[in-house]
Amino acid sequence: MIGGNESCTAGPIPVSYLTCLTYILGEWTGVEHIEDYLSYAVYLLWVLFPLAVVFLLPGVLVILFYTSILLLHIYKRKNELKEAYSNDFWDGAKQMLATLWDGHGRIWHGYELHGADNIPEGPGLIVFYHGATPADYVYFMARLLIQRKRYCHVVADHFVFRLPGFKILLDVHGVMHGPKEECVSALKKGYLIAIAPGGVREALFSDEMYTIIWGDRKGFAQVAIDAKVPIIPMFTQNVREGIRTLGGIKILRSLYERIRLPIVPVYGGFPVKLRTFVGEPIPYEPNITAEELTAKTKAALQALIEKHQKIPGNIFRALMERFQTQKKED
């Protein structure tokens, strides 16, 4: 076996492989004292590596989404599985993906779901605060399906339907564009629907202060009134500490308002503690207006944030909560 300090070329003075490689690079490039540049490059790599990691880790979620899509295509090709599920051909696929995402939530975030008993047996409209990504909602949906055998549809922004390869994933999970008529019809059929009124704007431009950004949106309230269903507020603790955005940069906000595409960079992917809290339902009232119900829902969601989230959010504290058994009162 050749040792690391042995000569890489024949000669009276043995040199290490690193010295030999440096010499060859210097001869090839014609740069004198190339070892100084290499040392500086190694130093930069060492300094910038943590920064690169925090921008690359969110890509894990993208990989999981496309893994889910791949599994759905494989499932679809296995026609013999169709006979295994009498109610719906995709039931088995939904259970499979729920297991995948719930496993990721458990391992990476120690994910917990509290207050699931507040979700009615019949139809209802879940209104939640939107983090930088919808990962917490996916964890919630997976845990609800596994534990309660309930499936929750969700209303998504229009750009989601233009993502390459996502069609089968959206179709299988019944993701909705969000027209009021479609939502009212689904609720009247007994479905459970979730919506984040803040949408992409809240996802990108809220921050560690957990500010609710709804603007003048009240269509969800009118949907609940027309369908005569309760509204259930929901919030995930530390959701903005897991992944954050650079939405505080004004030019990015201006660019989004102009082109309406979520091009704001995100960073993080930290394994912080995530706990989803489902609040008490706001019952249907026949004489309430959409404006009044919107205000009531916003107040209920704000109360969940104040009760379960330390503000401003702190990444280190959220990481340490992975190792704490005590938590804020449900």
User: Annotated active-site positions, please?
Assistant: 130
* Residue 272 in tokens: 């912080």
Q: Are 162 and 260 in contact (CB under 8 A)?
A: no
Cα separations in angstroms, 252 against 62, 69, 195, 216, 285: 22, 30, 25, 22, 41
> What distance in Å separates the CA atoms of residue 118 and residue 279, rounded to the nearest whole number?
7
- Residue 78, φ and ψ in degrees, nearest 5: -85, 80
The one-letter code for the residue type at 230 is P
> What distance in Å separates the CA atoms of residue 42 and residue 53, rounded to the nearest whole number?
16
Number of other CB atoms surrounding residue 178 within 10 Å: 18
Residues 279-308: b if buried by 16+ CB within 10 A, e if exposed = bebbebeeebebeebbebbbebbbebbeeb
Q: Which of 64, 127, 129 is nearest to 98 (CA)?
A: 64
Q: Are 183 and 193 in contact (CB under 8 A)?
A: yes
> What distance in Å separates the CA atoms of residue 328 and residue 305, rounded to the nearest whole number?
11
**88: exposed, middle or buried (Cβ count in 10 Å: 0-12, 13-18, 19+):** exposed
Query: How far is Cα of residue 259 from the mean position of the Cα atoms in its chain?
Result: 22
